[in-house]
Amino acid sequence: MVSVKIGESFTIDSKVLDERRECIISLPESYIGSEKKYPVLYILDAEYTPFYEKNLFSFHFMRVWEMVPEMIVVGIKNTIRNRDMIPVKLEDRPEAGGADRFLEFITEELQPTINKEYRTTGSNHIYGGSNAGLFVLYAMLNKPELFSGVISSSPMIGWCEELIHSLAEKSFNEHRYDNRLYMIYGKDDFKQVVETIPAFTDYLMEHAPDGLKWELKYLPDEGHVPFTSIYDGLKFLFPKQG
């Protein structure tokens, strides 16, 4: 039996989260022996190995056909997922409500570490599904300068719909956008998705700044976190690559 390597594991002793966080990094084939700098793609929920491998395979498949640029890929593993991905406290998920600290971890600890240890261009992109899809929206609305490309699959906006709308209003008024946002969900998705995405996209149609290029894909034969989410999302983030 031959093992297949998908990257190198590394850890960060996070002062923000007061815990050790594990990530997986995959470098481009041309990295060793070159002086090139690369954009970075962050993928959440990297501890779910089958899903992470599928997402990584999608990226590498697209690289074979030069549909996306060479990138450093960083998979972020969870410790307490609901705590980190959901911005508000919930009665049936008491650990939720720590998205601000997780965003601070990414901003103040993870990204500086990646930029220090590896040759990066400063262009960052992120993918998340379900609660992580909610988080990437939350991150974009709080700090649009953090990720120029955001892929949000089946975002669970229903956990905090009013917060997301108020953040969008504030962010669109206060920040300059130069971002691409891709959202995707299925007909048989969770109610926290299907009952809230239409209103959010209506808001985007009316109020999104010119610098925010966005697209929504609805799949009538799919459910939660459609299989092609990262593939379709990367095609939208990099329209000139194909």
Q: Average the pLDDT over 96-113 and give the result.
A: 98
Q: What is the count of structural domains for the chain? A: 1
Distance separating alpha carbons of residues 127 and 136, to the nearest angstrom:
7
Strand order in the sheet with 149-153: 8-14, 19-26, 72-76, 38-44, 120-129, 149-153, 179-186, 212-219
The CATH number of the domain where 100 resides is what? 3.40.50.1820
| pLDDT of 6 | 76
Q: Does residue 207 register a pLDDT over 80? A: yes
CA dihedral 208, 180, 226, 49 (to 10 degrees): -130
Computed from CA positions of residues 175, 213, 169, 112, in that sequence, does the dihedral angle turn out positive or negative?
negative
The better pLDDT of the pair 12, 242 is held by 12
Of 16-20, 48-52, 191-195, the poorest mean pLDDT is in 48-52
Return the pLDDT at 50: 85
Q: Does pLDDT of 5 surpass 70?
A: no
Domain contains 184: yes
Please check whether residue 1 lies inside any domain of the structure. no
Q: What one-character DSSP code corresponds to residue 106?
A: I
Per-residue pLDDT tens for 27-49? 999 999 999 999 999 999 999 88
pLDDT per position as a tens digit, 141-178: 999 999 999 999 999 999 999 999 999 999 999 999 99
Q: Is the pLDDT of residue 2 over 60?
A: no
pLDDT of 212 reads 98
CB 90 within 8 A of CB 159: yes
242 domain residue, yes or no: no
Residue 62: inside a domain? yes
Average pLDDT, rounded, for the chain = 96
- What pLDDT is attached to residue 242? 45
Comparing CA positions, the residue from 128, 205, 203, 214 lying closest to residue 177 is: 214
Tell whether 206 is covered by a domain: yes
Kindly state whether residue 3 falls inside one of the protein's structural domains: no
**pTM of the predicted model as reported, rounded to 2 decimal places:** 0.96
pLDDT the model gives residue 3: 53
Q: 145 lies in a domain? A: yes
Tokens for 42?
A: 């962050």
- Residue 2 in any domain: the answer is no
Average pLDDT over residues 58-83: 96
Residue 46 sits in which domain range? Answer: 8-237
Structure confidence at residue 240 (pLDDT): 78
